[in-house]
Each structure stands twice: as C-alpha cells, then as structure tokens.
Amino acid sequence: MQIKILSPLWGYENLPIHLFLDRVKDAGYDGLDTWIPENYDDKKKLFDYVQHYGMTLVVHQYRAQGSTFKAFKASFLKNLHECAEPDPVLINSHTGRDWFSLKQQLELIDVAQDFSEKTGITVVHETHRGRLGFAPQLANELFERREDYKITADLSHWTCVTESMLENFEQIVEQAIRRTRHVHARIGHENGPQVPDPRAPEWSYALDIFLGWWDRIVALNLQLGHAQLTFTTEFGPPPYMPTIPFVNTPVADQFEINCYIKNLLKDRYAFLPDQV
C-alpha cells in the first residue's frame, strides 16, 4: 500500500500559485490537498502542474452554503460536481452544519454517496468543528445508521471539542479508524486543535497519541487491501498557529512544521510495500 503525503494550499493563498507548487514539489511532497482556485488562470496552472508531474490530488469541498437546509443541499451537490473536474483521488468535504438535524445530516451523506456511485469519486466527510460529525458522540449516530459513511480523520477537532485525548471514546475512535480513507495530520490537544510545535518535548504526549491513531488507520487500510492511503500535513497559519502577543509573529514556521510531519510519516511508513 502506498502512503501519499500531501501539502495543503491553506496558509499560502497569497503566494503566486506556480511558486507554491514548485515549493511543494521541491520539498518532496507527493501531491496536494486543496480547493479549486476560483481564478481561471490559477486553476489551469494547478491542473496542468498536477498532471505534468503526476502528483496526487485531493480536492477540498468547503464552499457549500445556504441559510436553509434546502439551499445548502443544492449548493453541496453543485460544489461536489465542481470538485470532480480534475478527477481527484477523492474529495474531502466540509459537509453540513452542526445545527442540522440527524435526518438532514443523513440526507447529505446519501447525496454524497449517490454522487460517488455516479462519478466513481469517493467523498470523505471531514470530522471538522461546525460540520456533521464534529464530535465523537454525534459522529457515532451517523456510524450506526450509514455503513457507507467514510471520513477524513482530523481527530484534532475531536480532542478540542471534548477537551480530552479521547480516552473516554475508545469504541467510537475504533469506528472512526475503520471508516477513515484520508487523514489530516495535525496534532491537537485538550484545549485546541493545533499544538504550537509538535517538535517541542512538552507536546510529545500528544504527538505519540496521534501517531498511535494514525498507525491503526494505516494498519486497517492495509488489512482491507487498499492500494493507497493519503495524509495531508495540515498544520495551519495564524490564528490556528499561536502568535506572540502585540507583534503577532507566529511561534513557528508553518511550512517547516508540515515538512517535519511529512518526513516523520514517510520514515514511519517506509516499511510498507508499494503493492498490497
């Protein structure tokens, strides 16, 4: 099974896209996890670059909007089709709102599943605050009702929401691991979705816990016979990244930290065979 490590575009939006793409490639990333640029020239540059260099592409759906469920549902499906344009390996989706009813959340999962069956593109629903599945106990209600509900495991949101390292949710974490097809590799903690610097010894306990979860995700996907598993190094910019008061300087370099996680994952899973 191949492990593909992807870079986010998040945090680098103000950099000319061709410079960012070169930086990602030169750093040794396998591809990108990004939304589709609204600017036509940037979109073409992205699509051409990915195709030319054979990079892995995960497209991020987060633009669905609407003040009512009906409006959101229509926008959601429209945005899924837009995300399908470059034929990504999968679509990572910010699905729903945390205030939608259980019935409405299930309806959106069904919309995504129908889309996947028609296009052949897997949609994975990120465990993100403000979205469906934003907390383990609520995600479990969806797990119990939809076997085809697959996720992007960003467990940093769950540690933040529950103010814990999920020690009281082990059975639900196991279900989440079983359904994970994409990972957002960011380290959270009991009081936030991102530790300031995962290299610092004071955060080693959190790093070790997340590595344990990721190891289990890798083992499960290998057991299921999947040919590929994607990780995105998703440490974010300020205000996700803490800053020094008054001067607002980030306490660490976002790209440097993401490259640290990339290298850590590549070394950790180097033993895996390319073929299942």
Q: Helices 204-223 and 155-162 meet at what angle, rounded to 10?
A: 130
Residues 6+ apart with CB under 8 A from 164: 190
Output the pLDDT for position 34. Answer: 97
Report the domain count for the chain. 1
Which uninterrupted H or E stretch holds 266? helix 254-268
pLDDT of residue 189: 99
Query: For residue 193, how many C-alpha atoms fall within 13 Å in the half-sphere facing its CB?
Result: 21
Picking from 224, 222, 227, 253, the residue whose alpha carbon sits closest to that of residue 238 is 253
User: Domain containing 87 — which CATH number?
Assistant: 3.20.20.150
Q: Please give the Cα distance from 151 to 84 (Å, whole number).
A: 18
Q: How far apart are CA 130 and CA 157, in angstroms?
A: 10
Report the alpha-carbon distance of residue 76 to residue 90 in Å, rounded.
Answer: 16
Is the pTM higher than 0.95? yes
Mean pLDDT in each 10-residue stretch from start to end of the chain (276 residues)?
Answer: 97 94 98 96 97 98 96 98 98 98 99 98 98 97 98 99 99 98 99 98 99 99 96 97 97 98 98 70
Structural domain for 160, as ranges? 2-268
Residue 274 lies in a domain: no
